[in-house]
């Protein structure tokens, strides 16, 4: 494994990498918290693409990165120049090496793309942010232009032979990496409680945020039998350690090569993967990891069940058994897997002619978000006595119970029926019985989630009806008003422009200048934690707030929000804090009832003598009423990172903080 960090690709001394300089020049960073992540996502995309990526690929690769303060337009604009549709970077002012050869911004290597595109230079259309791009690829020390060779995968690592690994960590933790299935099964027999790991995207969350501790961990990333990806007579054979990004690629190829009636399931899984986490997670997360985590909101498990997939399981004595996906999930995060067993692979059957599969996922937002409700549905239609009837159907919902739920009564009702509008009322009634959501169901938003279960089925019904109509099996076409319900969601590439007047009066004010920290942010992140400070250590005021200073930096007495206690994470795990619950006011109406108002916040908009005007009988209309605006659901904010170091034997401290309110921060430090 060769890990390249943001510091490795360029810095102020050696010169910035084109990706770094673009982000800095295009005003793509503010606090800089997210900046190294954006740089490395873009760098990884360029390094792994044989050809310049499309704009869509660029946006896809950034979907797993969050920025709270800059806004995505300048970030996307910064990187748009690397897309193959935009030649401006190649034609405008590409970097050159010592021999005068142009350096390709995509690869960082000498190339001839400048010559090829010069011809079209005058015709190329550019965005405003692209026009203002001026390369800053020079060494600040000696003024040399950026000529750093792209980092290569170290040959000594390339030549290294893989070895089975056994590592010992803190507190007696042992970590194994077998290279063969038999080694894995042997380790499994020795350590039945061992945690298997592939992408660590779930186990990492458990150990980091849920205090889970596993004494023995077995990484199965290098066991070839778990990496199989094969096209077989009856369907696809997918190894449990196959990464989701690999599966995406494989399914695309299979879809291109096989008959369309065979690949309806492949299409549905591929479409679901598009909105599964972001590229970073899909690159590491595995098929088996998702199945064995058995999360009630897994996006894939309802689909494995609906498509009729089977799971192959191997035990430590080499016995292989097969179980249907629909029988595998036993309870909340509980699966049909014994301590001496390992999930080997998934067998995904081909679909038959007139068999349709569709995926559904509703989340707060499309990208990198977990589902509120998701579903997988499959229906097979066959002809009987001149009618096309439902011969087999599978309807499975996720996010509505501890396990993915099959709508069993609805399925039974539909089999043997002619598919038409007349079925819908009864189907909806049965769905409500099959998928009951109690008022206090975990996850809340019960009415909305209940309506999603019905609307997903309605969309599926329309989809199958439409497919039948296209094939001439049904005369009933789809109402134009319903057409949008069957179209898969696609988002066009983002566009946006910021217009501003540049007022040059000999000062920096009003000029679109790159801010002072930008180059530091794109090239280097804070080295880390330097000390532990408690409320008693705050020398100045411990109170902050945007306008009214009514919040404590570190809680001294009453904890007012989750995590608001001053302990380092490790130490916090050992602390048992007893909270006594205070009466809480959780809604505006409760606050009004309790007369709990923020001081000095009464706002009244009035113009003239309103009472007199109303009493004068001269108003055409008097509208009275009350309006309430609910709070927005919170999205997380990044933690404040601060790097502090003492100088002058501690008489003075220097600080780099990601805060946007630096005067407040320095006030607190005083
Ligand atoms: C930021 C983020 C976004 C996410 N978004 C989504 C999303 O949109 N949709 C969604 O469904 N999930 C999502 N997840 C959950 C997670 O990505 C998936 O569950 C992932 O597929 C787990 O795979 P992994 O290889 O990382 O599993 P790991 O963490 O390595 O392992 C997970 C579990 O599976 C067990 N296991 C792994 N392989 C085997 C095997 N062969 N036999 C037996 N047990 C095995 C492990 O012991 C462990 O208990 C998200 C997670 C994160 C962190
Ligand atoms: S610059 Fe992106 S979070 Fe601040």
Pocket test for ligand 1, best of 41, 185, 202 (most atoms within 8 A of CB): 202
Give the nearest ligand 1 atom to 278 CA. Answer: 3
Q: What 3-state DSSP class applies to 428?
A: helix
Q: How many CB atoms lie within 10 A of CB 567?
A: 15
Write out the residue limits of the CATH 3.30.465.10 domain(s) in the chain. Answer: 164-351
How remote is the CA of residue 229 from the centroid of ligand 2, in Å?
Answer: 39
DSSP string, 594-642: HT---TT-------S-HHHHHHTT--S---------PPPPP---PPPPE
Look at the alpha carbons of 259, 261, 264, 265 in this order and tell me if their dihedral is positive or negative.
negative
Give the nearest ligand 1 atom to 298 CA. Answer: 11
Look at the alpha carbons of 400, 268, 201, 309 in this order and tell me if their dihedral is positive or negative.
positive
Look at the alpha carbons of 430, 436, 439, 445 in this order and tell me if their dihedral is positive or negative.
negative
Q: How far apart are CA 82 and CA 26, in angstroms?
A: 13
pTM: 0.77
Ligand nearest to the CA of 38: 2
Give the nearest ligand 1 atom to 337 CA. Answer: 43
How remote is the CA of residue 36 from the centroid of ligand 2, in Å?
Answer: 10
CATH of domain 362-491: 3.30.390.50
pLDDT at position 119 is 36
Pocket test for ligand 1, best of 64, 200, 201 (most atoms within 8 A of CB): 201
How remote is the CA of residue 214 from the centroid of ligand 2, in Å?
Answer: 34
pLDDT along the chain (670 residues), means of 10: 86 83 92 93 91 91 91 92 65 56 56 44 39 49 53 84 91 94 97 96 92 94 97 97 97 96 97 94 97 97 98 98 98 96 98 97 90 97 90 97 97 94 94 92 90 97 92 81 86 84 72 83 57 73 80 80 54 72 85 87 84 89 84 66 77 79 72
Is residue 106 within 8 Å of residue 49, measured between CB atoms?
A: yes
Question: Topology of domain 6-131, per CATH?
Answer: DNA polymerase; domain 1 (1.10.150)
pLDDT at position 155 is 86
Atom 4 (ligand 2) nearest CA:
31
- Establish whether residue 205 lines the binding site of ligand 1, counting it when its CB lies within 6 angstroms of any ligand atom: yes
Q: How many CB atoms lie within 10 A of CB 443?
A: 15
Question: Topology of domain 164-351, per CATH?
Answer: 3.30.465
Number of helices followed by number of strands (H, E) in the chain:
26, 19
Write out the residue limits of the CATH 3.30.390.50 domain(s) in the chain. Answer: 362-491
How remote is the CA of residue 662 from the centroid of ligand 2, in Å?
Answer: 15
How remote is the CA of residue 73 from the centroid of ligand 2, in Å?
Answer: 13
Ligand nearest to the CA of 196: 1
- Establish whether residue 285 lines the binding site of ligand 1, counting it when its CB lies within 6 angstroms of any ligand atom: yes
- Establish whether residue 33 lines the binding site of ligand 2, counting it when its CB lies within 6 angstroms of any ligand atom: yes
- Establish whether residue 286 lines the binding site of ligand 2, counting it when its CB lies within 6 angstroms of any ligand atom: no
pLDDT at position 411 is 98
How remote is the CA of residue 62 from the centroid of ligand 2, in Å?
Answer: 14
- Establish whether residue 29 lines the binding site of ligand 2, counting it when its CB lies within 6 angstroms of any ligand atom: yes
pLDDT at position 478 is 81
């Amino acid at each position: 494994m060769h890990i390249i960090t943001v510091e490795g690709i360029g810095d102020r001394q050696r010169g910035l990498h084109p990706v770094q300089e673009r982000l800095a020049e295009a005003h793509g960073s503010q606090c800089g918290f997210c900046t190294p992540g954006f740089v490395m996502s873009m760098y990884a995309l360029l390094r792994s693409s044989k050809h310049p990526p499309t704009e869509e690929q660029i946006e896809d690769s950034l979907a797993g990165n969050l920025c709270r303060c800059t806004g995505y337009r300048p970030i996307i604009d910064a990187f748009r120049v690397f897309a193959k549709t935009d030649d401006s970077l190649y034609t405008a002012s590409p970097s050159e090496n010592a021999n005068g050869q142009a350096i390709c911004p995509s690869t960082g290597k000498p190339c001839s793309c400048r010559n090829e595109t010069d011809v079209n230079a005058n015709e190329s259309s550019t965005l405003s942010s692209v026009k203002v791009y001026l390369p800053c690829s020079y060494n600040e020390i000696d003024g040399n232009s950026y000529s750093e060779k792209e980092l290569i995968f170290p040959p000594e690592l390339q030549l290294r032979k893989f070895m089975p690994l056994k590592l010992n960590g803190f507190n007696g933790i042992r970590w194994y990496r077998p290279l063969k299935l038999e080694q894995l099964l042997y380790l499994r027999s020795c350590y039945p409680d061992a945690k298997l790991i592939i992408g660590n995207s779930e186990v990492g969350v458990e150990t980091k945020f849920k205090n889970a501790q596993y004494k023995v961990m077995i990484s199965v990333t290098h066991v070839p039998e778990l990496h199989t990806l094969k096209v077989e007579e009856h369907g696809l054979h997918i190894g449990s350690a196959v990464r989701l990004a690999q599966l995406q690629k494989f399914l695309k190829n299979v879809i291109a090569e096989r008959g369309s009636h065979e690949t309806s399931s492949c299409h549905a899984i591929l479409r679901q993967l598009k909105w599964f986490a972001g590229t970073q997670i899909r690159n590491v997360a595995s098929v088996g990891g998702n199945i064995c985590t058995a999360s009630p909101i897994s996006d894939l498990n309802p689909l494995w069940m609906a498509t009729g997939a089977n799971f192959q399981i191997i035990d430590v004595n080499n016995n292989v058994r097969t179980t249907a996906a629909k029988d595998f999930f036993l309870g909340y995060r509980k699966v049909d897997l014994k301590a001496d067993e390992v999930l080997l692979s998934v067998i995904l059957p081909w679909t038959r002619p007139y068999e349709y599969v569709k995926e559904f996922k509703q989340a707060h937002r499309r990208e990198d978000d977990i589902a509120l409700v998701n579903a997988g549905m499959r229906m097979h239609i066959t002809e009987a006595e001149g009618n096309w009837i439902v011969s087999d159907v599978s309807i499975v919902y996720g996010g509505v119970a501890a396990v993915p739920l099959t709508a069993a009564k609805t399925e039974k009702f539909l089999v043997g029926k002619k598919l038409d509008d007349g079925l819908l009322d009864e189907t909806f009634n049965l769905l409500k019985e099959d998928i009951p959501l109690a008022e206090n169901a975990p996850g809340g938003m019960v009415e909305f989630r209940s309506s999603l279960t019905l609307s997903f089925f309605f969309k599926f019904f329309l989809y199958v009806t439409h497919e039948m109509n296209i094939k001439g099996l049904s005369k009933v076409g789809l109402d134009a008003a319903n057409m949008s319900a069957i179209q898969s969601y696609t988002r066009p590439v983002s566009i946006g422009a910021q217009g501003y007047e540049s007022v040059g009066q000999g000062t920096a004010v009003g000029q679109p200048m790159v801010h002072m920290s930008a180059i530091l942010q794109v090239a280097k992140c804070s080295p880390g934690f330097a000390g532990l400070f408690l409320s008693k250590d705050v020398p100045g005021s411990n109170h902050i707030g945007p306008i009214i200073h009514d919040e404590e930096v570190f809680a001294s007495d009453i904890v007012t929000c989750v995590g608001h206690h001053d302990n380092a994470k490790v130490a916090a795990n050992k602390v048992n804090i007893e909270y006594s619950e205070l009466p809480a006011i959780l809604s505006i109406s409760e606050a009004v009832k309790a007369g709990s108002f923020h001081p000095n916040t009464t706002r009244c908009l009035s113009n003239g003598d309103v009472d007199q005007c109303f009493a004068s009988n001269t108003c055409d209309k008097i509208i009275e009423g009350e309006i309430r605006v609910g709070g927005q659901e919170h999205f997380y904010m990044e933690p404040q990172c601060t790097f502090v170091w003492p100088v002058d034997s501690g008489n003075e401290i220097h600080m780099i903080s990601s805060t946007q309110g630096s005067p407040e921060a320095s006030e607190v430090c005083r």
